[in-house]
Chain A
Amino acid sequence: MPAVSKGDGMRGLAVFISDIRNCKSKEAEIKRINKELANIRSKFKGDKALDGYSKKKYVCKLLFIFLLGHDIDFGHMEAVNLLSSNKYTEKQIGYLFISVLVNSNSDLIRLINNAIKNDLSSRNPTYMNLALHCIANVGSREMAEAFASEVPRILVAGDTMDSVKQSAALCLLRLNRTCPDLVPMGEWTSRVVHLLNDQHLGVVTAATSLISTLAQKNPDDFKTSVSLAVARLSRIVTSASTDLQDYTYYFVAAPWLSVKLLRLLQCYPPPEDGAIRGRLTECLETILNKAQEPPKSKKVQHSNAKNAVLFEAISLIIHHDSEPTLLVRACNQLGQFLQHRETNLRYLALESMCTLASSEFSHEAVKTHIETVINSLKTERDVSVRQRAVDLLYAMCDRSNAKQIVTEMLSYLETADYSIREEIVLKVAILAEKYAVDYTWYVDTILNLIRIAGDYVSEEVWYRVIQIVINRDDVQGYAAKTVFEALQAPACHENLVKVGGYILGEFGNLIAGDPRSSPLVQFHLLHSKFHLCSVPTRALLLSAYVKFINLFPEVKGTIQEVLRSDSQLRNADVELQQRAVEYLRLSCIATTDILATVLEEMPPFPERESSILAKLKKKKGSGTVSDIEDSRKERNVNANANVNGSSDHTITNTSAKPPPSFACDLLATAPPPTNRPRPIPSSSMLHTPLTPLSPKAYTPQPVTPTVPFYQVTSSPSSDLLGLGNSSAVNSASPPTSSHAASLLVDVFSESLPVAALGSASAHVIEENFSRFVCKNNGVLFESQLLQIGLKSEFRQNLGRMYIFYGNKTSTQFLNFSSSVVCPEPLSSQLNIHMKAADPVLDGGAQLQQILNIECISDFVEAPVLNIQFRYGGSTQNISVRLPVTLNKFFQPTEMTSQDFFQRWKQLSAPQQEVQKIFKAKHSMDTEITKAKIIGFGTALLDGVDPNPSNFVGAGVIHTKTIQVGCLLRLEPNTQAQMYRLTLRTSRESVTQRLSNLLSDQF
């Protein structure tokens, strides 16, 4: 037994805990717990009313059992009863049980809320605190609804005790985080700002947290906090270490408050007022100076607290990015930390320097530390620190040091931890491309990457090298020579075989003059790897062989023999078999001219953003990397155009990905060139499915735009073979060559429309869109694989949408990603923020993603949700129109008949009114119509229209910049089954849009 502490009385609980601890086995423990559960259950169910003490004790035991990791399915009611006890300790246990165990969507919330309400109005500070703690701990929507107006009142009331103010501030913060829409800004906001002047530092600390959170969303409302925060900070920074009494922590004055104030200031740009700005700069200088002073204590707590403030100050300096002297001083300070004996400081210095590297003022200063950073890469024992070093090298890289950094990263890769190899590979690939002056270096680097870490070289990386080689004719010969040499290695990675096969297939002729790499040698070299490779690689090699037939007529016979062998023609794999059959046929029947046309060199790929960069961003989330990238991009205007140009209007983690409605843009992220282009379910294809196709090929695949490695393999070629009555299975008599030749030419000319077809089928799905105009929940999209459900809520100009992705299959979806695209001009009218989704969606599982929406001004278009994931080896792309429509930002307005008509008259200009007469699409049920108008967002005004069968509504559209009042009148004519809808608003575009949205609903 431990020394029992003060004020404790629950002996039974202590005995129970001892019993549990004495249990020798897991089984014994479970047995003891079950016994206790049975006992408690019978006590709770028993006839004898339990007194408060026993109830408290049993509830506490249940809590203990829960904390051991067992499920508790009863006792909640008893805990709620304890809340209304007038004994403090019983109340306390009741609240504790509820904070720990009650889920935010429990049925008991109403009862709990009642008890809280009583305690909040009790004027007993201890009880009030318990109640506020409970709200903050549970923080559910129901609680926010019940208390969102009460808590601010307590917070700013003149007679509230300090400790209650603190609890109220943080309670409000929690509610604001859970349901920002429910915590309205009001006159209390200005009074909250003045809490920064409070004498009690505890109150200031709590208030600063609250203000920081609120200011992030409504910076304008809290502008005045800047000067107060600077004044407060200045007083803390200049105070003697004893001035603040108990708020001094190991000789550091109020470190928590300082950090919070510095954080608050990061919500704003540098102060405009010169005096305030000067004072802030002084503060920051003082903090930097203090870092140079000898420590006042040897305790790690002292240095941690001091440096916590320092790092936060540096964050603010970087955030402002306007004071070159401060930036360089910050960089030097971090430079000292790079070699500090504390691992934590080295880690943080590396991390912080990463952001400094993105400032043009300090980029050069950061670069001076390159040797130290390279050294940490080699000597650090902690992988997290090495990871930071890699990040920093990546961030500080530019044209001047790219070769050195890439070399160091490559050599680190040989021994790097498996967990970070893929990321390093991506980084090396990006840097090599971005800063390549001569592309032979680039090719060497990527081949080295494959050699050192082939398993970690993702598809994106090797697609990219092929794209670049194809687009740059100055490097093609070198690339062919280099891959040829690399392939000589007895054991080379399959990725190298892929790159080698592709490049030799395209450019093998450039090195064929050398007898050491004659066509036949090239072919044998490739074919020696064939049997060790996976199916997709073999498929790619087969395509390379048919290209050889075109490039080098002299090896035609050898290759035909290979194609004709049973292991190809009768391969169990349908894809390989089909290729062998088709290529063999093609080589037999086509004239050299036709062959040359069909197997022509690949045309250049359209220039676009590197898919590798997109992948890295995705891997790292929308966090640091993309930020660094974006800001660095601005500076490196000279850098390769490919990596520039992220589209501003694409949001979230995949921000760099181009909108997938353009097939050519998508090529960057497209499936491998190895894959034969998947049969696009075009009608011609479906009519003649003579060629063996795996059933998978027919599953709806909304656009898998492929890199058309060989035009001949695009779908019309199977059509051709079908027409020619020869298929692999039937092996009917071959058609005459002249016949085939003309067809082949046709085929070729059709290959472009095929690509266009691909892009057309990338259409945005919007069939369920209009269902959501008048309601907020439901199923937005459903296919055999995926179901997308929506739940949304809107308030004034803000909205939140919960997207639920349900995997309907039993297989995992991999690389799951989603992004929201707002095409111009929508991107400036709506702000949408989305957190990255988990990349893996298990079979049968559901994934939730939250979208925060802010309406800036009125808009017409709706954003598009793009979803991408891998399922069963193929990438699925789905684009769905998201039902974020203007009417969602309606606030209903009640008004009298007189008011209504007065306003109606005021809006009589012709461009303010839109009238539509249309036929009813649904039954003209009065109740349904009413529900739709209310669902549309306006108030339904009774008794306004003299004709009772008409409907009249009014509401205000809230956007950040303007508010638009709207009046509407709907006149049904049941006889004619027609409606007349009249809308009047002060803004033409709004009237138009609302009219279109609403008239579609009846």
Chain B
Amino acid sequence: NRNERRRIGRGKLRLQKWYVALSDTQKKKISREVIQMVLARKPKMCSFLEWRDLKIVYKRYASLYFCCAVEDQENELITLEIIHRYVELLDKYFGSVCELDIIFNFEKAYYILDEFILGGEAQETSKKIVLKAIEQADMLQEEAEAPRSVLEEIGLT
């Protein structure tokens, strides 16, 4: 259903997720087209765009655009709120999220997305439950993390 969701900032793709199998070239081409179209939109325009046989639903948060390409009969408004809920999740997790958080912790952004949406459909819409799942995973991570050598800590390897 939800074909792709992506976040872009200043024309750069920060995060992308595809729910249909496509080749890398196709993905790149689609990304380029969508980014161009969305960036060309002026404020106050509506958040929905027809594109090929899909609909693009997008929303802008500061310098970041969040876009979803969904099938024609999909509910646009609820898709818009999917985006918002995802932003809320990021915000809660990172503590007032900014673009840099997503760049430096892209793997986290992916986990949160997977907990929230799977196969293009909302899996768990409760904010508390999603965050709890992520926190539990983080706990596992901390336990597993053995102390590293000093050299590695400062990133020299």
CB of B76 within 8 A of CB of A348, answer: yes
Question: Distance (Å) between the CB of B50 and the closest chain A CB?
Answer: 7
CB of B119 within 8 A of CB of A171, answer: yes
CB of A3 within 8 A of CB of B95, answer: yes
Report if A89-B110 is in contact (Cβ < 8 Å); known contacts: A69-B28, A246-B128, A384-B46: no
Q: Mark A832-864, 1 if CB is under 8 A from B, else 0.
A: 000110000000000000000000000000000
Q: Mark B114-131, 1 if CB is under 8 A from A, else 0.
A: 100011111111111100
B60 at the binding interface (Cβ < 8 Å) = no
Distance of A140 Cα from B107 Cα, bound (Å)? 22
CB of B48 within 8 A of CB of A344, answer: yes
Report if A259-B101 is in contact (Cβ < 8 Å); known contacts: A139-B119, A301-B81: no
Q: Interface SS of chain A: helix, strand, loop or mixed?
A: helix
> Which of A10-18, A320-328, A491-499 has 4 or more CB atoms under 8 Å from chain B?
A10-18
Q: Mark A308-325, 1 if CB is under 8 A from B, else 0.
A: 110110010000000000
A-B contact count (CB 8 A): 221
> Which of A201-209, A449-457, A606-614, A638-646 has 4 or more CB atoms under 8 Å from chain B?
A201-209
B39 at the binding interface (Cβ < 8 Å) = no
Distance of A88 Cα from B111 Cα, bound (Å)? 13
Question: Distance (Å) between the CB of A728 and the closest chain B CB?
Answer: 48
Question: Distance (Å) between the CB of B41 and the closest chain A CB?
Answer: 8
A746 at the binding interface (Cβ < 8 Å) = no
Question: Distance (Å) between the CB of A267 and the closest chain B CB?
Answer: 12
CB of A384 within 8 A of CB of B75, answer: no
CB of B123 within 8 A of CB of A206, answer: yes
Residue on B with the closest CB to A624? Answer: B72
Report if A170-B119 is in contact (Cβ < 8 Å); known contacts: A126-B140, A249-B85: yes
- Interface range for B: 35 or more
A92 at the binding interface (Cβ < 8 Å) = yes
Distance of A493 Cα from B92 Cα, bound (Å)? 61
Question: For A103, what are the chain B residues with a Cβ–Cβ distance below 8 Å?
Answer: 21, 23-24
Residue on B with the closest CB to A168? Answer: B118
Question: For A309, what are the chain B residues with a Cβ–Cβ distance below 8 Å?
Answer: 78
Question: Distance (Å) between the CB of A611 and the closest chain B CB?
Answer: 23
CB of B77 within 8 A of CB of A384, answer: no
Which residues of A from 87 to 118 have beta carbons under 8 Å from B?
Answer: 87-90, 92-93, 96, 99-100, 103-104
Distance of A315 Cα from B48 Cα, bound (Å)? 18
Contact of B104 among A2, A100, A254 (CB under 8 A): A2
Distance of A140 Cα from B157 Cα, bound (Å)? 36
CB of B124 within 8 A of CB of A88, answer: no
> Which of A60-68, A276-284, A914-922 has 4 or more CB atoms under 8 Å from chain B?
A60-68
Distance of A387 Cα from B55 Cα, bound (Å)? 14
Question: Distance (Å) between the CB of B56 and the closest chain A CB?
Answer: 10
CB of A137 within 8 A of CB of B126, answer: no
Which residues of A from 289 to 341 have beta carbons under 8 Å from B?
Answer: 301, 304-305, 307-309, 311-312, 315
B30 at the binding interface (Cβ < 8 Å) = no
CB of A384 within 8 A of CB of B118, answer: no
Distance of A71 Cα from B24 Cα, bound (Å)? 9
Question: For A11, what are the chain B residues with a Cβ–Cβ distance below 8 Å?
Answer: 148, 152-155
A167 at the binding interface (Cβ < 8 Å) = yes
Distance of A3 Cα from B102 Cα, bound (Å)? 11
CB of B119 within 8 A of CB of A126, answer: no
A621 at the binding interface (Cβ < 8 Å) = yes
Distance of A11 Cα from B114 Cα, bound (Å)? 24
Residue on A with the closest CB to B147? Answer: A9
- Interface range for A: 35 or more
CB of B145 within 8 A of CB of A343, answer: no
CB of B81 within 8 A of CB of A12, answer: no
Q: Mark A178-207, 1 if CB is under 8 A from B, else 0.
A: 100000000000000000000001100110
Residue on B with the closest CB to A304? Answer: B77
Residue on B with the closest CB to A177? Answer: B119
A905 at the binding interface (Cβ < 8 Å) = no
CB of A305 within 8 A of CB of B140, answer: no
CB of B101 within 8 A of CB of A174, answer: no
Question: For B135, what are the chain A residues with a Cβ–Cβ distance below 8 Å?
Answer: 6
CB of B141 within 8 A of CB of A173, answer: no
Residue on A with the closest CB to B118? Answer: A170
A687 at the binding interface (Cβ < 8 Å) = no
Which residues of B from 136 to 153 have beta carbons under 8 Å from A?
Answer: 136-142, 144-146, 148, 152-153
Contact of B53 among A173, A255, A621 (CB under 8 A): A621
Q: Mark B42-55, 1 if CB is under 8 A from A, else 0.
A: 00111111100100
B19 at the binding interface (Cβ < 8 Å) = yes
CB of B107 within 8 A of CB of A311, answer: no
CB of B76 within 8 A of CB of A126, answer: no
Contact of A96 among B47, B78, B103, B110 (CB under 8 A): B110
Distance of A194 Cα from B23 Cα, bound (Å)? 38
Question: Distance (Å) between the CB of B121 and the closest chain A CB?
Answer: 4
Contact of A5 among B19, B101, B124 (CB under 8 A): B101
CB of B129 within 8 A of CB of A206, answer: no
CB of B125 within 8 A of CB of A348, answer: no
Q: Which 8 pairs from chain A and chain B are nearest by CB?
A: A15-B155, A174-B119, A7-B138, A308-B77, A308-B78, A170-B118, A2-B100, A246-B126
30 pairs, CB–CB < 8 Å, chain A vs chain B: A9-B141, A11-B153, A12-B155, A12-B157, A16-B155, A17-B103, A63-B106, A64-B106, A89-B145, A92-B141, A103-B24, A104-B21, A136-B118, A139-B21, A167-B118, A167-B123, A202-B125, A205-B125, A245-B126, A246-B126, A259-B75, A263-B75, A311-B75, A343-B45, A343-B47, A344-B76, A344-B77, A347-B46, A348-B76, A623-B53
A interface with B by C-beta (< 8 Å): 1-9, 11-12, 14-17, 21, 53-54, 60, 63-64, 67, 69, 71, 87-90, 92-93, 96, 99-100, 103-104, 126, 132-133, 136-137, 139-140, 163, 166-167, 170-171, 173-174, 177-178, 201-202, 205-206, 209, 245-247, 249, 254-257, 259-260, 263, 301, 304-305, 307-309, 311-312, 315, 343-344, 346-348, 381-382, 384-385, 387, 621, 623-624, 835-836
B interface with A by C-beta (< 8 Å): 1, 13-16, 19, 21, 23-24, 28, 44-50, 53, 72-73, 75-78, 80-82, 84-85, 93-95, 98, 100-101, 103-108, 110-111, 114, 118-129, 133, 135-142, 144-146, 148, 152-157
